[in-house]
Amino acid sequence: MTNSLILYVGKPEAGQALAVLAEQHNDYVYLPENLMQTLGMYITYFPHVTVIDMSVGYAQDVLDHLRSVDACPVILLTNQPIRETALYTLWPDTSAEAVLQAVKQLHLDEVGFVSNGVLRYA
């Protein structure tokens, strides 16, 4: 079993829910509170997957900065379809369980396993 390091940019309540669930699966969620913390955590901890809730005020800035360094994979919680190969989208109201399942699939895909298709592609 592979442990995932997840960088979650979003609402604190949703981040805490994801962190509690992830801990039960021996995964870890970093929960930055602003743009600078997010960028610092990304560069310092190099998470396996980054999840960005696009409804947060600084989310677009985070995405722009992470894309400038070819960060991947990135899951966006958004209603807007995104057409990029390194970006995956889930609906904003996706449960913590479904987000964690998507993270695990992407992380496993990165280490050579095959996904069974929970993520929707734009």
Mean pLDDT of the chain: 88
Task: Give residue for tokens 């992380």.
Answer: 107
pLDDT band at 1 (very low <50, low <70, confident <90, very high): low
Cβ burial, residue 23 (10 Å; 0-12/13-18/19+):
exposed
Q: How many helices (H) and strands (E) does the chain have?
A: 4, 5
- Kindly report the pTM of this predicted structure: 0.86
Q: Which amino acid is at 65?
A: H
Rg of the chain over all Cα atoms, to the nearest angstrom:
13
Dist CA 80 CA 108 (whole Å): 26
What is the architecture of the domain spanning 5-110? Answer: 3-Layer(aba) Sandwich (3.40)
As a whole number of angstroms, the distance between CA 15 and CA 34 comes to 13
Q: What angle do CA 35, 63, 85 make, to 5 degrees?
A: 160
pLDDT in tens, 14-52: 999 999 999 999 999 999 999 999 999 999 999 999 999
CA atoms within 13 A on the CB side of 94: 26
What does the block give as tokens for 14? 């949703």
Task: Using CB atoms within 10 Å of the CB of residue 68, give its burial: 0 to 12 exposed, 13 to 18 middle, 19+ buried.
Answer: exposed
Q: Where in the chain are the domains?
A: 5-110
pLDDT value at residue 122: 45
